[in-house]
Amino acid sequence: MTRRNPRYDILFEPVRIGPVVARNRFYQTPQCAGMGDQYINGQIGHRAIKAEGGWAVVNTEICESQYDSDQGYPGMKLWDDGDIEPLARVVEAIHRHGALAGTEIGHLGAGAANLYTREAPIGPSIYPVLTGYPVQVRAMTRRDIRTFLDNQRDAARRARQAGVDIIYADASGVEGPPLSFLSRHFNRRTDAYGGSLENRVRLLRQYIEATREGAGPDRAVAVRICMDELQGPRGITIEEEGAAVMALVGELPDLWDINISDWENDSLVSRFGPMGSQERFAAFVKQRTTRPVVGVGRYTSPDAMASLIRRGVQDFIGAARPSIADPFLPKKIEEGREEEIRECIGCNVCASGFALKAPSRCTQNPTVGEEWRRDWHPERVAPARRPAKVLVVGAGPAGLECAHILGKRGYEVLLAERERELGGRVAREARLPGLAEWIRVRDYRVQQLARLPNVSIFPDNDLDVEALCELGAQHVVIATGASWRRDGFGLAHPDGIPGAELPVVFGADSVIRSEPLPAGPVVVIDDDHYYIGNVLAEKLRLAGREVTLVTAAGEPAQFTQYTMERRRTLQRIYELGIEAVPLHTVRLIETHRIHLEHRHSHRPRELECAAVVMVTSRLPDETLLNGLQADPQRLQRAGIESVTAIGDCHVPGTIAAAVYAGHRFARELGEDRGEGARFKRERSVIFASQSRDELTP
């Protein structure tokens, strides 16, 4: 084992948090995994891996304190004593690896429309819920406030009974009562809980005290709090509310966990902000309390982490996304293997899974969400059952990951790539505006492949069927990717677009590869709704072109709501002067004109243009695959036992999906594909009788 670099010793100092001690400074902050207690075995596996990977503190996601805080997606709950056992199982798995277990107890207030429980949302005053559902928040009475505090106290007691070491009072979002009462915008009360800043802090103080009472003397109490909403005077700011909070309750909890609101600010995508964008907020709190402070910032560099501690910015390196991308990040630094860290790229695909009510996924770490149901470990793979030579054609995200895992399993691997540069679509897209950090997907895998003597890489090698059959491989994996279509075929244009055959029409790949377009205005047709359409429009605009972005959706880049970059994406589009034309389909393309039609009114519209760029859908590159499958006898003579397409060549999708496909094939090659190979299902338990007939507050 390589010895740890001494300059990182500071990261492995123990830190006291009230009555408990964290073994090092690596702190997995509360992080939703899209599994909750509905997929409790998946939740257990996900948290246990983090503890095994060296995180001193591993938190669950938010646990709802009561059933009038129904978030409507997979989450943890502490509504009643029946919720103790599931949480206890998670805690036990975390403790098994020597980490402290934390849980964030909170109430979503105006962030919960309570669609399952059908309870009235609550808050300081009457206003619409923040979810967009057509219902309003009910202003809490004094009795409601007492009930709210009692529920928090009871939930903290249940967390204690489950064995939790660090029990949170969550004030991380303005939707929840503790912060909405603090907000000048939402709190319009005239009683002791409204008006003056001291009055608006009152509920937060009582909330922390109630958590302390429920947690007892041998459990640490943490407060996760939003220091700024980045809305200026219209929202909570560190200069006013933040300073007042620290002056009034700065010594009340055992630890401060600092965030900014809302989630899209707290988990800023790399396209719109660098690592460490929250440093000033953690530093602000650190200067105003003697309690330890944890802050996040998508830190993956151990030098940056050590610098934070030495400069007194914070006491713990908080992480959610970096702990997903590499659950073993702390252990790799501790063992002097920091060059093996699988760095987060800040794409927020992890959040998209949660937002879509599915277990989290990760572009960099395909084992996320599969720790229990497929028994996938992020650092260990089973050795090959029998020796074999495997040829992987295509060194994009799927091919690189496939070759990497096959190599780790002990197979002899040949990786061929027709381009001189490895990386496929990752290498090309990383050159687009704001996507530079995505090159980490390639670089991590190329670096790992270089360590494997049983893997040979052949760039600038465009294999045909004849050459492929002469290489002596028993298994052939086709990862040749996909290309953007020029004909306009997609969701909005299932028959393609008339005029797409004209020379003024280009596929998205032409712009991605910086091929020249005719001089003059450009129209980008976006039927993909993720990032490519708007990023290409941005690239063209930055090059000085007049750009119009046309989409059949209600607004550009609609899918980015799930990766929490929608608002900033739209802001970038309009700030750059890109004209957006939503709710329009294309009727006809002519040499200097494009004819549109409004989806609902059917009103026609014409745009003058010199070029049209299609971002609609992609076609798999199946040329080599079809050539191989056309002659089974030839494959048999060449000793080829299997030919398999993976990644975009099989099903075009996200980069995360391509990495997952490559990983899965490599894991499963040579393994039993029968019943035991399927992922395990979570099943609900139906009780013959209940211990209580009704839920009570």
What CATH number should be reported for the domain holding residue 549? 3.50.50.60
Residue 209 has, within 13 A of its CA and on its CB side, a CA count of 9
User: For residue 137, which of 96, 185, 99, 89 has the smallest C-alpha distance?
Assistant: 185
Concatenated DSSP letters of 64-77: ESSTT---SSS-EE
- Note whether 132 and 203 are same-domain residues: yes
Q: Is 688 a domain residue? A: no
- The domain of 507 spans 485-619
Helix axes 84-95, 142-161, angle to 10 degrees: 50
457 and 579 part of one domain: no
H or E stretch covering 46:
helix 40-52
Number of structural domains (the chain) is 3
Dig out the tokens for 301 from the structure: 């560099």
Please indicate, yes or no, whether residues 400 and 427 belong to a single structural domain of this protein: yes
3-state secondary structure of 367: coil
Cα separation of 264 and 567, whole Å?
9
- Strand order of the β-sheet with 522-526 is 505-507, 611-615, 522-526, 547-551, 579-581
Q: Are residues 538 and 636 in the same domain?
A: no
Closest CA to 399 of 421, 383, 422, 378: 422
- 29 and 94 part of one domain: yes
**Nearest CA to 198 among 241, 161, 160?**
241
pLDDT tens-digit readout, 352-403: 887 888 899 999 999 999 999 999 999 999 999 999 999 999 999 999 999 9
Closest CA to 121 of 105, 134, 133, 138: 138
pLDDT value at residue 625 = 96
Rg of the chain (C-alpha set): 27
Neighbouring residues of 247: CB distance < 8 A, sequence distance ≥ 6 = 288
What pTM did the predictor assign? 0.95
* CATH code of 301's domain: 3.20.20.70
Structural domain contains residue 374: no
Specify whether the CB–CB gap between 343 and 282 falls below 8 A: no
pLDDT at 693 over 60: no
Same domain as 443, residue 326: no
User: Nearest CA to 362 among 316, 404, 300, 320?
Assistant: 320
Residues 596-619, mean pLDDT to the nearest whole number: 97
Please give the average per-residue pLDDT across 34-58, as a whole number. 95
Would 200 be classed as within a structural domain? yes
- Considering the domain architecture, whether residues 150 and 223 belong to the same structural domain is answered as yes
Q: Environment class of residue 467 by beta-carbon count within 10 Å: exposed (0-12), middle (13-18) or buried (19+)?
A: exposed
Encode pLDDT of 442-495 as tens digits.
Answer: 999 999 999 999 999 999 999 999 999 999 999 999 999 999 999 999 999 999
Give pLDDT, residue 687. Answer: 56
Residues 474 and 492 reside in one and the same domain: no
Residue 687 lies in a domain: no
